[in-house]
Structure 1
Amino acid sequence: MSSFDTRHRTATIDGLEVFYRESGHPDSPTLVLLHGFPSSSHMFRNLIAELADEFHVIAPDHIGFGRSAMPTVDEFDYSFDRLAEITDQLLDRLGIDRFALYIQDYGAPIGLRIAAKHPDRITALITQSGNAYREGFTPFWDVLFAHAQNRAEHEPAVRELLELDATRWQYTHGVPADRLDRIAPETWLTDQAGLDRPGNKEIQLQLFWDYQFNLDGYPAFQEYFRTHRPPTLVAWGRGDEIFGPAGAEAFATDLPDAEIHLLDAGHFALETHGQEIADLIRDFLRRNL
């Protein structure tokens, strides 16, 4: 366990406050952690503490999430292109020009945009339910892709994904019964508090709609994999019914040396398999950095 304290900081990017957690010595190899929906850098709190003795760890909150700024949908372009631009600028501001990248859920299309743009900056990739292939999509996505084609008709069904039962489901579904007691209730309650802020559901609906354009970026992401062959670790919940295990196995298509581990976990595998994932990361980065 690391003896480094986590620092909680903000930087102003394009006039917006971006919150981030940071720990470890700045001279150590850097690992950037990008969270998914509907979470925040809070999901990495234990992983940061576990790895900071050996790595310089940075975990930002995306705009509209966690403690970062939350402008309305009329004030900010809530698109994955724009979220990637903000994150890219944050890393520049912090002087982070070489780093390993941990991507989960929404963090994948954000982080892979950055990796494809700056391939020489990426020392390694770690993906935990961070999809880059169409094979990863499950029936969970049917209503979201229908919403992308007809927002008005399908918005009521999609809004149900923003309520407490759905948020709790993301944490507990696919988790073996003997591991459920490892999930702290404040995880989904913290996420739901963020979703319940006035105006946040409209932000999430916009990002749900914009997600369709991430699939257009998959060919570029996959070309990045083939051309640059970043060392890649896949640590994925076998029981994840949002991005299924086929999405994990698909990385071997373009990255035949990828180290793929299917864990007996769900979508937020860090909550139930945090120590196992930390051990995998430590071993992987020691061998590849």
Structure 2
Amino acid sequence: MRLPAPRQMRLSDGTELAYVTAGDPFNPALLLLHGFPSSANAFRDVIPGLAGAAYVIAPDLLGHGQSDVPPTPSYDAISKAISELLTHLAIGRRFIHIHDWGAAVGLQIAMQAPELVSGLIIQNANAHRTGFGPVWDAVLKFWSEPTKENEAAATPDLTFEFTREQYTGGLPEDVAATIRGDPWVEDWRVMNLPGRMEAHRALIGDYKSHAARFDTIAAYLKQWQPPALMLWGRHDPYFDIAETLSWMQDLPRMEAHVFDGGHFLLETHAEPALSLMIEFIKRTQEMHPDRRPSRTSARSAGMTSPTQQRLRLSGGTELCFITAGDASNPALLLLHGFPSSSRTFQGIIPGLARVAFVIAPDLPGYGQSAPLPAPSFEAFSGAIQELLTHLAIDRRFIYLHDWGAPVGLQVAMQSPDLVCGLIIQSANAHRTGFGPQWQATFEFWSNPTEENEREATAFLTLEGTREQYLGGLPEDVAARVQGEPWVEDWRVMNQPGGMETQRALLADYANHAARFSVIADYIEKRQPPALMLWGRHDPFFDIAETLSWMQDLPRMEAHIFDGGHFLLETHAEAAAALMTDFIERTQRP
């Protein structure tokens, strides 16, 4: 797409600033701040769509695009120029999209007038030491020892090839192939205009001043907690993926979406990024953040109702399960966690049945399935294998949640060639997932006395069951949970064999943890397509677990929501849309 015609503004020092505007000035303002080596052109594919929801302002930062080089290039000078622009346009409250070097500018603007920040959109933008990977070693040395020799070592990459690498560096070939045109060619042309190379070298050196403000930025974020949306390209070779976790720790209500893209995410993922940005702007502007336009419900019209069935397993136990959709579609096995049942998926099954043959069992001892005589995750996996055989299921997607993960991962590893993809929702497969609340369980595993078992199973109460749904949730998010699903779970848990099942599985989870290295080996060798859906307020699995999964699966998209352990209770619609897209995308030839 082509940008609207740029406008020019003469700044107070006589420098010319080029910028683009689009949309109705009465809409909320959205300031788009690009990174090196681009310009407002970085946003060409999203501006037309954003203009329907916001008054878009996309400047060429000084020294980039059609803007002049400032007399003394620095992030302070560029921030001052953008502040002049906002004053010129009479912009009050604003959303700020920060990317790369745009972060050093946009965060200054945000901190100068924090009460005017409607929200931040964070796209491969660094504000923590964790963002500096090995590629930064030469620059960090130049900052500490600013000699000519070290400057040369830090900046020799200002070449045509390095400019191209900003767009394609780290990208898998199939992703790089989706970049249209050669945007780096125009960037390189502009970089070779008078004064531009000097400006870029100056800004590389001045990035040190941005890093020196990291503590100040952290204090601003802690105090003001601006609404925020993260859009991240996971193959970015310049900012380490660990930076995503640092942002999430600073902003505990931020949703984070990590795509199979690179440093210039909008070159390959403009469409999903645009949808998320529009939804974020609209939601943030509404008084009630749970008021969202419906997508899944409209698609569900005409769907056949899910069918509940029963299967008598070879050991005599009855397994209850739901199926929905066309059996000729790819199978989707939905595996719930403690203390729920297939009821967990009631809000998403109708929509998913459009694209998949959905199979949602009640694990033995849950919902309407009878308990097993000797409950274990291995026995559960055997039961699910019997069900898949009974239904003549070949290739399948597997949804893993909580205690469904030990079951589903065993099923996956037993027949890895049949796995179309994994959907990972608050499912633990690494030591990083165990937070402090697991200490009593660890002690029980290492010393299984009656006293230690009592401590480890103290959560097996009505209140503990309720906490599975509401634990860690902000009040406004908890208010979105409909009904009291924990009441039915608690009733089932108190049926004959119910509590025995829970105690047995808690003890057996130690065997799942003992298989973490085997699971890691399977993931490394097979690299199944994967989608992550995670509730960031989950009190049971630490948020660091998301990074471990991302490190294991470098092509996985990760979407981290303002939800909890039972994400589908509050974010079913968004999750269903992502799952539908994942299944359809993964099935394309």
Give me the TM-score of the superposition, normalised by structure 2: 0.47
Q: Is 2:381 the partner of 1:92? A: no
CA distance in 2, matches of 1:230, 1:6: 28
Of the three residues 257, 281, 284, the one matched with 2:579 is 281
Deviation string 1:89-134 (CA, Å, 9 cap, x unpaired) is: 1111111111100010010010001111100110000010111111
**Match runs of 1:1-289 below 5 Å:** 1=297, 2=300, 3-14=303-314, 15-71=316-372, 76-148=373-445, 149-289=447-587
CA distance in 2, matches of 1:201, 1:29: 36
Deviation at 1:285, TM superposition (A): 1.4
CA RMSD of aligned residues (A): 1.3
Deviation string 1:32-89 (CA, Å, 9 cap, x unpaired) is: 0001111111111111122112211000011111111124xxxx22111111111111
Q: Report the structure number with the largest CA radius of gyration.
A: 2
Deviation at 1:213, TM superposition (A): 0.6
Deviation at 1:157, TM superposition (A): 2.4
Deviation at 1:202, TM superposition (A): 1.7
CA distance in 1, matches of 2:418, 2:349: 21
**For 2:423, what is the secondary structure of its paired residue?**
strand
- Residue pair 1:65, 1:194 contacting (<8 A) in 2 also: yes
Aligned amino acid, residue 384 of structure 2: T
CA distance in 1, matches of 2:438, 2:538: 13
CA distance in 2, matches of 1:215, 1:199: 24
Aligned amino acid, residue 482 of structure 2: A
Deviation string 1:168-213 (CA, Å, 9 cap, x unpaired) is: 1110122232222221233111111111213311221111111101
Deviation at 1:137, TM superposition (A): 0.9
- Residue pair 1:116, 1:220 contacting (<8 A) in 2 also: no
CA distance in 1, matches of 2:479, 2:353: 26
CA distance in 1, matches of 2:532, 2:470: 21
CA distance in 1, matches of 2:496, 2:357: 35
Identity of aligned residues (%): 38
Deviation at 1:238, TM superposition (A): 0.6
**For 2:472, what is the secondary structure of its paired residue?**
coil
Deviation at 1:251, TM superposition (A): 0.9
CA distance in 2, matches of 1:70, 1:136: 28
Aligned amino acid, residue 11 of structure 1: L
Number of matched residues?
Answer: 285
- Residue pair 1:4, 1:23 contacting (<8 A) in 2 also: yes
CA distance in 1, matches of 2:553, 2:528: 8
- Residue pair 2:365, 2:497 contacting (<8 A) in 1 also: no
Aligned amino acid, residue 392 of structure 2: G
Give me the TM-score of the superposition, normalised by structure 1: 0.95
**For 1:27, what is the secondary structure of its paired residue?**
coil
Q: Which moved more, 1:18-27 or 1:216-225?
A: 216-225
Aligned amino acid, residue 129 of structure 1: S
- Residue pair 2:536, 2:560 contacting (<8 A) in 1 also: yes
CA distance in 1, matches of 2:510, 2:318: 27
Structure with the bigger RCO (C-alpha within 8 Å, sep 6+) is 1
- Residue pair 1:245, 1:262 contacting (<8 A) in 2 also: no
Deviation at 1:276, TM superposition (A): 1.0
CA distance in 2, matches of 1:54, 1:111: 21
**For 2:426, what is the secondary structure of its paired residue?**
coil
Higher helix fraction: Structure 1 or Structure 2? Answer: 1
